[in-house]
Structure 1
């Protein structure tokens, strides 16, 4: 696990989440969720803010979680959110080009988190200790 990469992804996600919560147009405009005057309607702003807080909270969890199972859990949550966004936005956003861009961005962020889990790097876990593995009793009895 590359903790530095995961913390960077978490920090970027948290900052973006706070920014979108404050200014929902940052997400609404590129997603095509604006009216003819390119303004974000009140209902759209209301709907986007919880999504933004989810991103802020999950990103902050990636930054603050202790290395190990807690950090992996925060990263799994982030990956599920990103890939879920790709699926949902990919089928529901208006205009095909907006859907494609949303899928690319969402999958890209999710892939960064997957890469951080799979990569070695600063604070990499010991070899053979994946997220679901248990230590071998024979190895610990020496």
Structure 2
């Protein structure tokens, strides 16, 4: 397990989650979830904020969980969320290109986490 990689993915995810919670348009615009003027409607903002909180919480868990089973569990949760996003957004976002990008981004983050779990540990600590 590459703890440093997992902590970096976790911290980045947590920061992104906090940002989306504060500014849902960060996720809404590239996802095509805006009106014809590029504005994020109130209902969309309400719907995206819990996703931001989920990412903030799961990322924070990866960033601070003790090495071992706790970090593995936090990472598995993050992988499941990313793959769930890929499946759901890949089928439901407006526009083929947006769906493809959402799948690529979500699977990419999941792959980083999987790589962090499967890579041999460089740290000799138990």
- TM-score (normalizing by structure 1): 0.86
Partner residue in 2 for 1:70:
70
- How many Å separate the matches in 1 of 2:125 and 2:77? 20
Point out 4+ residue stretches in structure 1 off by more than 6 angstroms. Answer: none
- How many Å separate the matches in 2 of 1:124 and 1:12? 25
- How many Å separate the matches in 2 of 1:24 and 1:46? 8
- TM-score (normalizing by structure 2): 0.97
Is this contact kept in 2: 1:2–1:124, CA < 8 A?
A: no
Please report how far the alpha carbon of residue 120 of structure 1 lies from its aligned counterpart in structure 2 after TM superposition: 1.5
Structure 1, unpaired ranges of 5+: 127-142
Q: Residues 21 and 2 from structure 1, CA distance in 2 versus in 1: closer, same or farther, beyond 3 angstroms? A: same
Is this contact kept in 2: 1:20–1:27, CA < 8 A?
A: yes
- Tell which structure's C-alpha radius of gyration is larger: 1
Partner residue in 2 for 1:140:
none
Q: What per-residue deviation string (whole Å, max 9, x for no partner) do you get for residues 48-86 of structure 1?
A: 000000000000000110000000000000000000000
Partner residue in 1 for 2:79:
79
Partner residue in 1 for 2:48:
48
- How many Å separate the matches in 2 of 1:54 and 1:115? 22
Structure 2, unpaired ranges of 5+: none
Partner residue in 1 for 2:93:
93
Partner residue in 2 for 1:39:
39
What is the aligned residue count? Answer: 126
More helix per residue: 1 or 2? 2
Across the aligned residues of Structure 1 and Structure 2, the Cα RMSD in angstroms comes to 1.2
